[in-house]
Structure 1
Amino acid sequence: MARHVYACPLRWADMDAYGHVNNVVFLRYLEEARIDFLFRPDKDFQQGSVVARHEIDYKRQLVHRHRPVDIEMWVTEVRAASFTLAYEVKDDDQVYVRASTVIVPFDFEAQRPRRITAEEREFLDEYRDDADDAAGALAA
């Protein structure tokens, strides 16, 4: 199983009054990692997709520093018209957030969900880990 790793920069504007990354900002971090994963020149979801659901479990506070934080992503489920991504926002020895997102491929021209193409399924399967579902990722 492969995992996609995104080095997410931290910004001063991400901090709350206590100098910690604001909880809401983590959703933007996940979005940045998701875009980096799905919209690549060689394999992408150019036809469009929408987020159907997010689950996020905050494990510890992340304080501002000048080096990025890593976001590891992998696929936990691929269905006919949706797939689930799992994430860990972490450093080598610290996990700050565990999360999952259900994504629905979407045809914006027709304004309706669409099925996952064979090419998209093949791409997602490269990052699939059947042993680790989204609930397990959040519970761990």
Structure 2
Amino acid sequence: MTHPRKLVQTSLIPIRWGDMDAYGHVNNTIYFRYMEQVRVEYLEKLGFRVMPRGSAPVIINASCTFLVPLNYPGLVEVRMFCGHPGRSSVPTHYEIRLQGDDTLYATGESKIVWMDVATGKSVPIPEHLRAELPPF
């Protein structure tokens, strides 16, 4: 069963030579950086910043399924989707392709939780972010 989700951000990220591993393809850890970058760009577009006070988004889990190896050179296209939000969290999904190529190279997921920075406790998702999420 697939859950409804909304495309919220697409980012283009160049593959760097240093992203490669001994096997000649992009190292698995770099895929998490690609997902992080699109997520940060989306949240910054909505006016959220990582701040040492107030409330802020944090990631409580992340996963990636590697389907086809990526190689240098290339321009990675990362699509970020948001799913049904809870009180303080929203699931996110990612598709990683090369620009201009329909091949799905990897998929990923993470859960964003809003927290009070001082207490470390979850807080409700800000209303202006909730308004941007998929209607359910």
TM-score, normalization by structure 1: 0.80
Q: Is 1:15 matched with 2:20?
A: yes
Match of 2:102 among 93, 100, 104: 93
Q: Is 1:26 matched with 2:34?
A: no
Q: Is 1:103 matched with 2:108?
A: no
The answer to whether the Cα contact below 8 Å between 1:44 and 1:120 also exists between their aligned partners in 2 is no
Q: CA deviation at 1:103?
A: 0.6
Secondary structure of 1:113 counterpart:
coil
Q: Is 1:44 matched with 2:27?
A: no
d(CA) in 1 for partners of 2:44, 2:133: 12
The answer to whether the Cα contact below 8 Å between 1:20 and 1:62 also exists between their aligned partners in 2 is yes
Of Structure 1 and Structure 2, which has the larger fraction of its residues in helix? 1
d(CA) in 2 for partners of 1:84, 1:56: 14
Q: Deviations over 1:3-41 (max 9, x none)?
A: 41100121111100122000111111111111011112x
User: Aligned letter for 1:90?
Assistant: R
Unmatched tracts of structure 1, length 5 or more:
131-140
User: Aligned letter for 1:7?
Assistant: L
Structure 1 window deviating more from structure 2 (111-120 vs 80-89): it is: 111-120
d(CA) in 2 for partners of 1:117, 1:3: 16
d(CA) in 1 for partners of 2:7, 2:112: 19
d(CA) in 1 for partners of 2:92, 2:7: 13
d(CA) in 2 for partners of 1:122, 1:51: 20
Share of identical aligned residues, percent? 28
Match of 2:126 among 117, 128, 138: 117
Q: CA deviation at 1:44?
A: 3.0
Match of 2:77 among 65, 70, 77: 70
Unmatched tracts of structure 2, length 5 or more:
1-5, 50-54
TM-score, normalization by structure 2: 0.83
d(CA) in 1 for partners of 2:123, 2:47: 15
